[in-house]
């Protein structure tokens, strides 16, 4: 379902903003709404954050925007402790790859403490992580770590692909009582889209049917979804009517939307930017096999990055990360076999 059509037909006024501004508005609105919300990260103060997401917030909330030293484990753990004692921290790491440094605090402390302490504490913490490749940032600034955190009970993982979802999901993430790993794709920050002028939220755990279709379901999320949509357009020209799902949340997965779609189309490809092994694509593939086996015309196919550190040179990087033509080619194979 395309939300824009819905709003245009109604009375809700829309405005066009960037993905970055959408995130900024979400933080601003939630900080106004709840004084327990604070922001911590490197350069999040006057500097405005590495990608400009917190621009102007320090001036509005000087007591709740905190510049941190380059100590990812230290301030992530600090945020877990603050969350356990009544605050609602938003942590920004400049680059998502560095969440590996902070992961002990998230996995061994944040995800465990509510369980160990019998629900008498919670960890309402949002980890904002600028992520993803297609930018020639090479192997320590290009990856996206959703699959790591999907593995851990007690952690939710969200990756919006549009300004509308970025704002609505970040607001939901801030209000959530658990750790939410919020991966913002660096290639999306300056993309624009329509959002309502009025307040709204997007629920965590709901996929979005971006394009309806009847022949195959293409399941994707975050920036690479744009490539899935390009592929769907090309495939339409070849009489393959693809349905495209944006997962938006990869933990918990929206099993219902995924299985309803695949039961309808009988075929599924999952397109993700990162490595295949033990990944979101693998999980979705397993889910489809379990839930839709009798409806399938073909086993689910995973289109992912090659199992290789993301290289620097554009020609190398493009060969590793999934491209539109890869998706088109894989989908056509499924129909050629028939």
Rule CB under 8 A: say whether 41 interacts with other proteins: no
Residues 240 to 299 in contact with other proteins, rule: CB under 8 A = 251-252
Find the distance separating the first CA and the last CA of the chain, reported in whole Å.
29
Q: Are strands 242-246 and 216-220 parallel, antiparallel or unpaired?
A: parallel
Rule CB under 8 A: say whether 159 interacts with other proteins: no
With contact defined as beta carbons under 8 Å apart, do 296 and 266 qualify?
yes
Span from 65-73, 186-194, 256-264, 290-298 in contact with other proteins (CB under 8 A)? 65-73
Q: Helix (H, G, I), strand (E, B), or coil: what is residue 305?
A: strand
Residues 115 to 144 in contact with other proteins, rule: CB under 8 A = 115-121
Burial readout 264-299 (b: 16 or more C-beta within 10 A, e: otherwise) = ebbbbbbbbbbbbeebbbbbbbebbeebbeeebeee
Residue choice 82, 235, 262, 271 for contact with other proteins (CB under 8 A): 82
Span from 84-92, 140-148, 255-263, 317-325 in contact with other proteins (CB under 8 A)? 84-92
Contacts with other proteins, 174-213, as mask; x by CB under 8 A: ---xx-----------------------------------
With contact defined as beta carbons under 8 Å apart, do 95 and 144 qualify?
no
Cα–Cα distance between 123 and 138 in angstroms, integer? 33
Peptide bond into 160 cis (omega under 30): no
CB of 311 to other proteins, least distance (A): 29
Q: Decide whether 71 or 319 has the Cβ nearer to other proteins.
A: 71
CB of 58 to other proteins, least distance (A): 15
Residue 154 C-beta-side C-alpha neighbours within 13 Å: 17
CB of 16 to other proteins, least distance (A): 35
CB of 148 to other proteins, least distance (A): 16
Residues making contact with other proteins (CB under 8 A): 38, 63-64, 66, 68-69, 71, 73-87, 104-105, 108-109, 112-121, 153-154, 156, 177-178, 251-252
């Amino acid at each position: 379902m395309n939300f824009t059509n819905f709003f245009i037909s109604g009375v809700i006024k829309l405005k066009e903003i960037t993905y970055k501004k959408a995130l900024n508005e979400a933080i601003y609105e939630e900080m106004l709404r709840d004084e327990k919300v604070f922001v911590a990260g490197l350069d999040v103060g006057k500097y405005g954050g590495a990608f400009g997401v917190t621009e102007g917030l320090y001036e509005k909330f000087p007591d709740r925007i905190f510049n941190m030293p380059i100590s990812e484990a230290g301030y992530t753990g600090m945020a877990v402790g603050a969350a356990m004692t009544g605050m609602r921290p938003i942590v920004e790491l400049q680059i998502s790859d560095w969440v590996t440094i902070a992961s002990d605090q998230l996995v061994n402390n944040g995800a465990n403490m509510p369980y160990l302490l019998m629900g008498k504490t919670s960890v309402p913490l949002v980890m904002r992580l600028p992520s993803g490749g297609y930018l020639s940032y090479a192997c320590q600034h290009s990856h996206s770590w959703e699959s790591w955190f999907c593995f851990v009970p007690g952690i939710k993982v969200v990756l919006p692909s549009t300004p509308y979802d970025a704002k609505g999901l970040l607001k939901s993430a801030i209000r959530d009582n658990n750790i939410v790993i919020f991966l913002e794709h660096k290639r999306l920050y300056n993309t624009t889209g329509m959002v309502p002028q009025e307040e709204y939220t997007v629920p965590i755990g709901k996929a979005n049917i971006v394009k309806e279709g009847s022949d195959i379901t293409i399941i994707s999320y975050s920036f690479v979804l744009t490539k899935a949509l390009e592929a769907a357009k090309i495939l339409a020209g070849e009489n393959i009517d693809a349905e495209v799902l944006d997962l938006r949340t990869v933990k918990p997965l929206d099993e219902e939307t995924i299985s309803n779609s695949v039961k309808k189309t009988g075929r599924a490809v999952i397109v993700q930017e990162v490595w295949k092994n033990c990944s979101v694509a693998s999980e979705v593939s397993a889910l489809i096999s379990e839930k839709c086996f009798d409806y399938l015309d073909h086993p689910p196919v995973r289109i992912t990055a090659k199992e290789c550190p993301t290289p620097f040179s554009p020609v190398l990087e493009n060969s590793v990360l999934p491209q539109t033509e890869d998706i088109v080619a894989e989908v056509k194979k499924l129909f050629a076999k028939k």
